[in-house]
Amino acid sequence: MANEPFAVGIDLGTSTSEICIYRNGEPMMIPDPGSRTKSPVIPSLVAMNRRGELVVGEDARPYVDLPGRGVREVKRLMGTGELVTLGDRDCRPEEISALILRRLKENVEEAVGQPVLDVVLSVPANFPDAARQATMEAGRLAGLNILRLINEPTAAAMAFGHRHIKTEGQLVVFDFGGGTLDITVLEMVAGVLDVKSSFGNTRLGGKDFDDVMVNLILRKFQEEHRVMLQQERARQTLKAPAELAKIALSNSSSYLVVVPNFTVRDGIPIDLEVEVAREEYNHACAHLLEAARSCVRQALSAKQIQPEMIDRVLLVGGTTYIPAVRQLVAEMFDREPRSEVNPDLAVAMGASVQAAIIKELIDPGEGDLIVTDVSPFGLGIDVVSNVGGQMMLLYEPLILPNTTIPFTVRRSYRLLSGSQGEAEINLYQDHTGKARLPEEAIFTGIRGSITNIPPSQTGEPHQVEIEFSYDTNGMAKLTARIPATGQKIEIHYQPSAQRLSDEEKEEAFQNVRDMWKQSLRAKEYDTLIVKAERLMSSIPDEEKQQQLTLAVSDLKMALVSNDDEEISRAGDRLVDLLFEIEDILGR
Amino acid sequence: MSTDHYETLGVPEDASQEQIKRAYYRLVRQYPPEKEPEKFKVIREAYETLSDPKARDNYNAMQRHGEEVRRLFGEAETLMAEDRWEEAQRPLKRILLVIPTADAALNSLGICYLNLADWANAIKVYDKLTTRSPDVPVYWSNYGMAYYEQTEDMSDHDHRKSLLLNNARSKFKRARDLEPYNVQHYISLSRTYVREKDYTQAEYWLEQGITADGKTDTSDFEILFELCIVYLYAGKLNSIAQTASRIIAMVPPEDDEFRKYASARFGVLGHELFQLRAFREALTFLNASERFDPGNEDLKEFAQSVRSIMDARDQFDRLKNDPQVCGPVKAFCAYYVAGNSGEFEDETQEDTDRIFEDVVRGLDTVHPSMILSSVVRVRTSYPAIYGINASAFGEVERVASESSWRSGTFSTGAGAKSGCFVITATYDTPYAPQVARFRQFRDEFLLTHPLGRAFVCLYYRWGPCVATLVRRHPRLKRLFACGLGFLIKYLPKKAE
Whole-number pLDDT of residue A231: 81
Whole-number pLDDT of residue B429: 23
The model's confidence at residue B198, banded by pLDDT at 50, 70 and 90, is very high
B472 touches chain A (CB under 8 A): no
Q: Do B439 and B480 share a domain, yes or no?
A: no
Closest to A386 (Cβ–Cβ): which among B26, B181, B488? B488
Q: What's the gap in Å between the CA of A375 and the closest CA on chain B? A: 13
For the domain that residue B37 is a member of, what is the CATH number? 1.10.287.110
Q: Within a domain: residue B247? A: yes
Share above pLDDT 70 across residues of chain A, in percent, rounded to a whole number = 92
Q: Within a domain: residue B456? A: no
Q: What's the gap in Å between the CA of B436 and the closest CA on chain A? A: 53
Could you report the per-residue pLDDT of A192-243, keeping only the tens digit for each?
999 988 888 888 998 899 999 999 999 999 888 888 788 888 888 888 899 8
| One-letter-per-residue 3-state SS of A396-442 | EEEECCCCEECEEEEEEEEECCCCCCCEEEEEEEECCCCCCCHHHCE
The span from the CA of A35 to the CA of A33, in Å, is 5
Predicted complex: ipTM over 0.90 = no
SS3 A392: strand
Q: Do B284 and B338 share a domain, yes or no?
A: no
Whole-number pLDDT of residue A48: 87
The span from the CA of A377 to the CA of A444, in Å, is 12
Could you report the per-residue pLDDT of B50-94, keeping only the tens digit for each?
998 888 988 888 888 888 888 999 999 899 888 899 999 999 999
Q: What's the gap in Å between the CA of B394 and the closest CA on chain A? A: 49
B492 touches chain A (CB under 8 A): yes
Q: Report whether B318 contacts B370 (CB < 8 A).
A: no
The model's confidence at residue B434, banded by pLDDT at 50, 70 and 90, is very low
* Helix boundaries (H) for B251-348: 256-275, 279-292, 297-319, 327-340
Task: Report whether pLDDT(A108) > 50.
Answer: yes
Whole-number pLDDT of residue B47: 95
Q: Do B394 and B468 share a domain, yes or no?
A: no
What total of structural domains would you count in chain B? 3
Q: Within a domain: residue B229? A: yes
Q: Per DSSP, what are the bridge partners of residue A447?
A: A426
Q: What's the gap in Å between the CA of B118 and the closest CA on chain A? A: 24
Comparison of pLDDT for B438 and B51, the residue scoring more: B51
The model's confidence at residue A518, banded by pLDDT at 50, 70 and 90, is low
Mean pLDDT, rounded, for B113-139: 92
Last residue within a domain, chosen from B36, B51, B66: B51
Could you report the per-residue pLDDT of A373-410, keeping only the tens digit for each?
888 889 999 888 777 666 678 898 999 988 999 999 99
Q: A with B: how many residue pairs have Cβ under 8 Å apart?
A: 130
Q: Report whether A196 contacts A232 (CB < 8 A).
A: no
Task: Report whether pLDDT(B474) > 70.
Answer: no
Q: Do B332 and B303 share a domain, yes or no?
A: no
CATH numeric code, A165-339:
3.30.420.40
Q: Report whether A208 contacts A201 (CB < 8 A).
A: no
A190 touches chain B (CB under 8 A): yes
Nearest CA in chain B to A412: B489
**Range 341-360 of A in CB contact (< 8 A) with B:** 357-358
Comparison of pLDDT for A48 and B263, the residue scoring more: A48
Could you report the per-residue pLDDT of A111-140, keeping only the tens digit for each?
998 888 899 999 988 787 788 888 998 998
Whole-number pLDDT of residue B214: 59
Mean pLDDT, rounded, for A82-102: 88
Q: Do B142 and B28 share a domain, yes or no?
A: no
Other Cβ atoms less than 10 A from the Cβ of B426: the count is 17
Q: Within a domain: residue B84? A: no
Q: Which fold has domain A519-582?
A: Substrate Binding Domain Of Dnak; Chain:A; Domain 2 (1.20.1270)
Q: Report whether A520 contacts A528 (CB < 8 A).
A: no
Whole-number pLDDT of residue A325: 92
Domain A1-163+343-359 shares a fold with domain A165-339: yes
Using CA of residue B399, residue B401, residue B404, residue B406, what is the dihedral sign? Answer: negative
Show residues of chain A in contact with B221, CB under 8 Å: 390
Q: Do B406 and B274 share a domain, yes or no?
A: no
DSSP 3-state percent helix, strand, coil across chain A (nearest 5): 40, 30, 30
Lowest mean pLDDT among A252-261, A345-354, B118-127: A252-261
Could you report the per-residue pLDDT of A535-583, keeping only the tens digit for each?
777 777 777 777 887 788 788 777 776 677 888 888 888 888 888 877 7
Contact (CB<8Å) B492/A449: no
Mean pLDDT, rounded, for A302-324: 87
Q: Within a domain: residue B397? A: yes
Task: Report whether pLDDT(A433) > 70.
Answer: yes
Other Cβ atoms less than 10 A from the Cβ of A61: the count is 16
Whole-number pLDDT of residue B407: 40
Picking from B53, B64, B143, the residue whose alpha carbon sits closest to that of residue B101 is B53
Whole-number pLDDT of residue B163: 94
Contact (CB<8Å) A406/B37: yes
Last residue within a domain, chosen from B13, B33, B51: B51
Domain boundaries, chain A: 1-163+343-359, 165-339, 378-493, 519-582
* Phi, psi of A360, rounded to the nearest 5 degrees: 60, 35
Task: Report whether pLDDT(B441) > 50.
Answer: no
The model's confidence at residue B173, banded by pLDDT at 50, 70 and 90, is very high
Q: Report whether A174 contacts A346 (CB < 8 A).
A: no
Buried b (16+ CB within 10 A) or exposed e, A31-52: bbebeeeebbbbbbbbbbeeee
Could you report the per-residue pLDDT of A55-83, keeping only the tens digit for each?
899 889 888 888 888 898 899 899 888 88
Could you report the per-residue pLDDT of A160-202, keeping only the tens digit for each?
999 898 889 999 999 998 888 999 999 999 889 999 888 888 8
Task: Choose the CATH number for A1-163+343-359 among 3.40.50.970, 3.30.420.40, 3.40.720.10, 3.50.50.60.
Answer: 3.30.420.40
Nearest CA in chain A to B483: A386
Q: Do B175 and B284 share a domain, yes or no?
A: yes
Q: Do B127 and B240 share a domain, yes or no?
A: yes
For A229, counting Cβ atoms within 10 Å of its Cβ (0-12 exposed, 13-18 middle, 19+ buried), the class is middle
Nearest CA in chain A to B486: A386
Other Cβ atoms less than 10 A from the Cβ of B117: the count is 11
Q: Do B191 and B289 share a domain, yes or no?
A: yes
Q: Within a domain: residue B68? A: no
DSSP state of A452: S
| Residue B488 amino acid letter | I
Contact (CB<8Å) B29/A372: no
Q: Within a domain: residue B347? A: yes
Task: Report whether pLDDT(A497) > 50.
Answer: no
**Range 331-350 of B in CB contact (< 8 A) with A:** none
The span from the CA of B6 to the CA of A573, in Å, is 60
Contact (CB<8Å) A386/B40: no
Mean pLDDT, rounded, for B312-333: 83
Q: What's the gap in Å between the CA of A168 and the closest CA on chain B? A: 11
CA distances from A89 to A98, A514, B250 (A): 16, 11, 49
Q: What's the gap in Å between the CA of A381 and the closest CA on chain B? A: 9
Task: Report whether pLDDT(A19) > 80.
Answer: yes
The model's confidence at residue A515, banded by pLDDT at 50, 70 and 90, is low
Which range marks the domain in which residue B17 is found? 5-51
Contact (CB<8Å) A392/B181: yes
CA distances from A266 to A218, A227, A272, A279, A453 (A): 19, 10, 16, 35, 82
Q: How many H helices and E strands in chain B? A: 26, 1
The model's confidence at residue A366, banded by pLDDT at 50, 70 and 90, is low
For A416-564, list the strands marked E by DSSP.
423-430, 442-450, 463-470, 476-482, 487-493
The span from the CA of A355 to the CA of B63, in Å, is 42
Task: Report whether pLDDT(B307) > 80.
Answer: yes
Task: Report whether pLDDT(A478) > 70.
Answer: yes
Whole-number pLDDT of residue B122: 94
Q: Do B260 and B158 share a domain, yes or no?
A: yes
Picking from B83, B115, B88, the residue whose alpha carbon sits closest to that of residue B478 is B115
Mean pLDDT, rounded, for B115-126: 93
Could you report the per-residue pLDDT of B385-413, keeping only the tens digit for each?
888 778 778 878 887 777 655 443 322 23
- Cis, peptide link before residue A401, omega less than 30° from 0: no
Q: Do B146 and B281 share a domain, yes or no?
A: yes
Task: Report whether pLDDT(A356) > 80.
Answer: yes
**Range 4-43 of B in CB contact (< 8 A) with A:** 21-22, 25-26, 28-29, 32-35, 37-38, 40-41
What superfamily would CATH give domain A378-493?
A: Substrate Binding Domain Of DNAk; Chain A, domain 1 (2.60.34.10)
The span from the CA of A221 to the CA of A219, in Å, is 5
Task: Report whether pLDDT(B246) > 60.
Answer: yes
Name, in order, each residue with C-beta under 8 angstroms of A330's C-beta and a sequence gap of 6 or more.
A336, A337
Picking from A142, A144, A205, A24, the residue whose alpha carbon sits closest to that of residue A512 is A142
Show residues of chain B in contact with A487, CB under 8 Å: none
Task: Report whether pLDDT(A319) > 60.
Answer: yes
Task: Report whether pLDDT(A526) > 60.
Answer: yes
Lowest mean pLDDT among A404-408, A411-415, B131-135, B441-445: B441-445
Whole-number pLDDT of residue A413: 86
DSSP string over A334-363: TSPPB--S-TTTHHHHHHHHHHHHHTTSS-
Name, in order, each residue with C-beta under 8 angstroms of B490's C-beta and a sequence gap of 6 or more.
A383, A384, A385, A391, A413, A414, A415, A416, A461
Contact (CB<8Å) B490/A415: yes
Contact (CB<8Å) B33/A407: no
Whole-number pLDDT of residue A335: 82
CA distances from A167 to A164, A272, A308 (A): 5, 51, 17
Q: Do B302 and B331 share a domain, yes or no?
A: no
Could you report the per-residue pLDDT of B342-365, keeping only the tens digit for each?
666 666 667 667 777 777 777 777
Residues belonging to chain B: 496
Contact (CB<8Å) B29/A364: yes
Whole-number pLDDT of residue B479: 26
Nearest CA in chain A to B47: A404
Contact (CB<8Å) B492/A413: no
**Range 189-248 of B in CB contact (< 8 A) with A:** 213-214, 218-219, 221-222
DSSP string over B27-68: HHHHS-TTT-HHHHHHHHHHHHHHHSHHHHHHHHHHHHHHHH
Other Cβ atoms less than 10 A from the Cβ of B326: the count is 23
